[in-house]
Amino acid sequence: MSAASIIERLAAHLGLEEGSFESDAEAKDPWIRIAGDRLVAAAEFLKADPELDFDTLHCVSGVDWPGDDPPAIEVVYHLTSLSRKHWMVLKTRVPREGGSLPTLETVWKAANWHERETYDLFGVRFEGHSDLRRILLPADWPGHPLLRDWEWPETWHKIPVKPGRQMTERAEGGQMTGVGPFD
């Protein structure tokens, strides 16, 4: 099924009118952006509809956009249909401060660990998640590192953790980092 018809079908099911939602069927990875409160309905339809049949949730990623109005974290769901061989990207935005999303664990079990990772690194809360604990970082790690304005602590339990500035400074100064053929 082509990306445009997938988007059309999903929008028709959710009752979204033309122009009331953002989508791009011509992008490298066609995507549709929907509101957080419609997320579960969309996911359930994408999985259950025999024409779409998105049977696997491939990946969940967070992207922080502090400069946007309003500041938001975008959560991106990459879906795959093994039976129909098509792909789709579902996007949704949560406010940076105190926002939360419903969990998709009830639709695809793969969401469990991906959502834990997004919570760990971005601080996005997933309502209804069965086990929302940090997964990669220690329980008392300060903050959520993949937020753009996160500050490195100097030490953590007396262990120095802040990386040297060298790499960053070179990159900010426009230098190549020494892996290309032109060094």
Partner 1 sequence: MAEQRSPVDGAPLVTLYDEELPPDNSYAFSPEELEEDEMILNMGPQHPSTHGVLRVELKTDGEIVKDARPHIGYLHRNFEKHAENIDYQGVIPFTDRMDYVGSMGNSLAYALTVEKLLGIGVGERVAGIRVITAELQRIASHLLAMGTYGMDIGAFTPFLLCFQQRERILDLFEWLCGARLLYNYNWVGGVSHDLPEGWTDKCRRFLDEFVPVLDEVDKLLSHNKIFIRRTADIGIITPEMAKDYALSGPNLRGSGIDWDLRRDDPYLGYENYDFDIVVATSPHGPVGSCWDRYFVRVREMYESVRIVRQALDRLPAEGDVHENVPRFVRPLAGEAYCRSEAPRGELAFYIVAENKKPIPYRVKGRSPCFVAMGLFHEITRGEMIADIIAIIGSLDIVLGEIDR
Pick the binder of partner 1 from 78, 93, 96, 129 (CB under 8 A): 78
Q: 65 — alpha (psi -120 to 50), left (phi > 0) or beta?
A: beta
> CB-wise, 13 or 134, nearer to partner 1?
134
Q: Is the dihedral of CA 47, 52, 53, 56 positive or negative?
A: negative
Of 60, 88, 64, nearest to 76 by C-alpha is: 60
Per-residue contact flags (x/-) with partner 1 for residues 133 to 172, judged by CB under 8 A: xxxxxxxx----xx-x--------xx----x---xx--xx
* Minimum CB distance to partner 1, residue 47 (Å): 10
Residues 104-123 that bind partner 1 (CB under 8 A): 108-110, 112-113, 117, 121
Binding site for partner 1 (CB under 8 A): 27-29, 55-59, 61, 63-64, 76, 78, 80, 82, 85, 89, 108-110, 112-113, 117, 121, 131, 133-140, 145-146, 148, 157-158, 163, 167-168, 171-172, 174, 176-182
